[in-house]
Structures are given as structure tokens and as C-alpha cells.
Structure 1
């Protein structure tokens, strides 16, 4: 029986005014400050080219910062090569050796870490057990499913007991059902071991599901940092509102503000909500599809232009005087008819005010 345990040496990660340039003109990361607490899973989220992967690679030592400081724990690692940093990385492609068994793949990094043959084997077996692959050690990677291969890659990283574990788009090669299962596995392992994890993805749902905190990146800089619920319920601007989940961005007018409570007008429909520091005048309103209420007595007028049944809910496209909206309803037994005129309001915890620009 293997008694070896995988231990956590979780350390915080800090970026202080970090910039990364490629050549003279290409700024991949622009003067960012970031603090990842020890034992937390923080996701870097954003569209292609926003700087999230470059940020991850700078933690790993695969890219060097042009300016600023990077600390892991109390150590300044800014100029340290990857081999001198106590981090492990799980790649999108798994990067398994096809000619080696699963156990040999997991053991590979341990051979260079000062463990004897017996300790190496025990740790590798413990790592496979941890990711639910006990008894799979003698198989080749080609004999495993995509999800199982990804777990092998996670086990290989975990057995090194890194201060920081890095994930670069780890689920992008898996189908939807496997993605959900493997992300739950990764989150469970991270929480059980108290690992510091920095995780890169472009998938908003994935980020919301696994993260303690999400760093939304845009144009080489940080747009907003917050918990999944904070970002979903209180985005700072239109980009974050539109990128984190689905949001309808509606034009509105702030008619009056008192004690940080704003009275707004949306096509004649008046509603009160937190002003979030805004003053009277034109503004934008972010409303999640589930927080548009069709059939309210008080609201603005719209027409149903499309109705789609997707099993657990109905999805509707609505046309109002100011443009189109997307709404969802749980009532699948009495769907609303295309072409019908409806009144649309907001749920109690509904819209969020955003700056006009």
C-alpha cells in the first residue's frame, strides 16, 4: 500500500508594475499589478491577444518581464530561469511522452528532483490515485481517453509539489461533457490540497465554475479583478459585462440621483437602482437574459421575434424601439408566440448601470 502523500507548499504570486514587450513596439502585458493569494485558484480570462498567456508564461519563467518585479512567496523570481522556479505547468496539449507508460510519464520530473527509485515510484502512484487513475500506471497514453490523459498531466505536475501550479487552456481539447467533469476534478484537487493555481482560459463559463477570483484582461492590461459573482453582478464597464456571461446592453437616461440611488428611464419605463457613482445623463444598462421579466405590468414595450426551445428553458429574441434583446424563461410548457407584443421589466436584482463610454 502506498502511503506517500502529495503535500502543498502553496505560495502567493505578486506582479509589481510588470510589462512585457516583444521587440520595440509590441506590448503584450502593460504595467500590471496582480496578487494571487496562497491556496487560491485565480483565472486569467480574456479574448485572444489580451496578454493572459504571456502573463502565465512569465510566472513559469518561459518569458521574461521587460520591466517590473515578479515574486513567488518572498522570493524575487523576475530574472530566474524556468528551471529555478518552484512551479509546474499543465499544457493544453497534455505533452505526454507517447512511448512511456502512464506511470513513467508521471515519474519523469521526479527523476530530476533527488528522489530515489522507490520514492519516485511511490509518489507517482500516489499522484495517479489522487486524480482517480489508480491502476492505470502500466497503460500507454494512447490507451486513455482525452480526459484521462489530462488527468495524467495534472498528476505529473502535482507530484513535484510546486509552490504554484499553472494551467494553460487545459480543457480546450475536450468535448463539452468531459470539460465539465475535468474542471470539477481540477477544482476539487486544488481545494483538497490548498494549492495556489493560476489558470488561463477564454471560456467564461469555465472561469466562473472553477475560480476563487477572476482577472479579466483586455488589450494587455487588467480590466477588472473580482470573484465570479462580483464580476457577473457588478461589471465595471461594457466590455466586462459583455464578456462575463451574456448581457443585454441597453441605452438609458439617468433622470435623478440621490444618496447613490439613480432613477433611470428606458423607453418610458422608470426604475431605481444603485447609481455606482454616475450622475444624471445618458448611460448604459447591463441586464442578464434571466433578469428580463416578460409580462410585467410596468415596463417597456417589445415584440417577440424569435422563440427557441432548448429543453430546460425557452430562449426569446425581443425587439424594442431601441434594439434587440435576448431573454430566457423557465416556463417551457406555455411558450410565448412569435409576433406577440409584450411588456418587459427587470427583476428585483436585475440591471447594472455602466458608464456611457
Structure 2
């Protein structure tokens, strides 16, 4: 349990200039707590290879004020802060070497542990591209996936809207602080995401404005939270391709929807397919890929007797567990555990309640 003093110290560290996730962890590994790091001499910080700007700013009035503002923000019932050593920190994201040390969450933090599929694409998508994104999100969310995207104009917005239309869950990961919503055109969409049980997420300090360097950082969280990433429409220079390549580096699946060879917005997807992404023409192609561990190439469900004796179900009948605890109990990778949970959820055998999985026949 993080003490109030340690929470305030971590928030102060988090707003320091030039202190990214790896340096933040280096500090806590060296001093064992944020409180100890703040009180350590500047020479100790320099010995860790940290910039002088970090050591100089840690005791400034601005740093204290921004931490105090974050504590005030957290007083709201729908506002949360997840730290990488919290039990509720999303397990798939924790696998990343540069996992965010702190995640601000507006809405329901428990859904960060549900099986997620990232959907990304062009900000200037064509009307058919937007319709495709909306339809895929609607079907996938209706089938039990949480749809994760970046709240941007274009494909991101269409993906969030499709998930909401299906009565499903969706997560928006921002490239700004949660108190500096961007783009403002999607303020209403952001409110709907939270009010319908979803979440807004950012690793950035609350008052962080839009900046070009923030969005690649945001993209690694989108892919890192998800079992796979679907690219709907993108040019070769699109940031969506960054997200897809990050997903591949993180060991996650990458899916791409093809288009006309005459449409510039399809070229990024075609490039991904040439690089090994799975060509997707229907939602079933994604579901078949995730079912591969169980049903082989046929895509047919396992027999009822096999489902009843499923190792995940055996564990959950003993006690409800989070995704991370279930993976540990069964000796599985998190990505495989979430894929299996998704299949069982689609079959109506399990459900996620308050961040823990329970069998429907319990």
C-alpha cells in the first residue's frame, strides 16, 4: 500500500523534465522509494546519469504545485492513478521494458485488465474506411473485446463510436494529460466513453499539452494494452504504422484491412501485410487467429467436454482471479491467457467482474 507521502513524492518525480519511464525506475531501484530519491543529494542523481535539470527541478514550487493539483484531481470518484507496482496495473502493459510508471485513469480502471483489441488508422480516413472501422469495432465489442484506440479524429473516433453503439467497452489512450483533452472536438465522445463504463488513460502529467513527441509514446501504450492491433486505413507515413510495428515488437498480433491499390490510404496496410501482418477481410478472421491455440485451422469450438475441463476454468472454479494471477497460476504468457479468456468469454463460459474473472457456471 502506497503511503500518502510516497504518492505525493512519486507525483513530484513524475512531472520532472527529462525523466522518462526508464529513468523513473532507475531512481526507484537505486533509492527504493520516491521519497528517498527526492531527499538524496544532487551528486547521487548525477551518478545515475540523470540530467541536471531533473535534480534542480525536484524541489521547485512548480513541481510541488503540479503534484498538489494531481492529488486534488484524484479526489474525484471517477479519477484513479495506477502505479506499476499496484496489483491493478494492467499485466500486459507491465511486460514492456518502458512501461509507464504511472497511469492516470478517468473512468473504470478494472477494464484495463479485460481482453483488448487496438484499432488504429488515418486521421483523414475515407468514408468507407470510417464505416469499416465503426462496423468492425461494433462487432468486436459486441463479441466481448474492449476496443482500445487514441481518441484521434478519423479511424480512432470511429472505432470508439462503434464500440459504444454495441453497448461495449472502449478505452481511449491520450497523447496529452487528461486535463488537456485533445482533440476538443471529441470532448463529447470522451464523456460517453466514461459514462458507458469505459476509460480515458494517459501516462502524461495532467496538464501536458499536445506535443509531437507525446503521440509515439501514446502509441506504445495502445498496442501494449492489447492482444492485437488492427490497422484499418493508413498511408505509409501514418503514425498507425508505428503502433503496428510496436505491437509486433511487443509480441502481439498485427492485423490489416486491405484496400484498392489506387487508394493512397490503403498503402500502409498493404505494406504491413507484406511485412507479415494478417490480412483481414472480416471480424471472423481475427477471431480465428485468436482461437488458433484451441481449434487449429478449422475455427470450430472445442467439444463441450474439453471446455468443461479447460485449465483456466479449473483455476477459476477454485477462486476468482485477475488475468495476471490466472496466467501465473497456469504458467502461461499473458497474451495467451487473454486470448484464451476471450475465447471462453465469447462462448459464454467466463465473465470479468470488477477486474477478476469468474466462471459463468460457478
TM over 0.5: no
Bigger helix share: 2
Q: TM-score, normalised by structure 1?
A: 0.26
User: Which is bigger in relative contact order (C-alpha 8 A, separation at least 6)?
Assistant: 1
Higher-Rg member (1/2):
1
Bigger strand share: 1
Q: TM-score, normalised by structure 2?
A: 0.26
